[in-house]
Amino acid sequence: MLLVNRALQAEYDQLLLTHRDPSVHPDIKSLQNDSAAAAEAEMIAEAKHLTKHKTQLEVRMRILEDHNRQLEAQLQRLHLLLDQV
């Protein structure tokens, strides 16, 4: 158990050093670039998803507004029928 802790601590220390000084590990820049590119791709995908969802909501809203107009017209016709009786 003590060996595992020492190994983990050593790895942790190395990661801290690498994080603080990227020149310690030459590939850290490419890893950071890959990470940034992945984050950007994820954001673009989420933006596309949100745009699609917004469009669907707008279509649904137009349908609901149309149904509302139809119901209002029916209500007006019913009022006219009641006034006639």
Q: Who contacts 18 (Cβ-Cβ below 8 Å, separation ≥6)?
A: 24, 25, 28
* pLDDT the model gives residue 63: 97
Question: Distance between CA atoms of 54 and 56, rounded to whole angstroms?
Answer: 5
pLDDT of 66 above 80: yes
Check if the beta carbon of residue 67 is closer than 8 Å to that of residue 61.
no
Band (pLDDT 50/70/90 cuts) for residue 51 is very high
pLDDT value for 3: 72
Distance CA 15, CA 29 (A): 14
Torsion sign, CA atoms 11, 13, 15, 18? negative
Q: What pLDDT, on a 0 to 100 scale, did the predictor assign at position 36?
A: 81
Contact (CB, 8 A) for 12 and 22 = no
* Residue 81 binned pLDDT confidence (cut-offs 50, 70, 90): very high
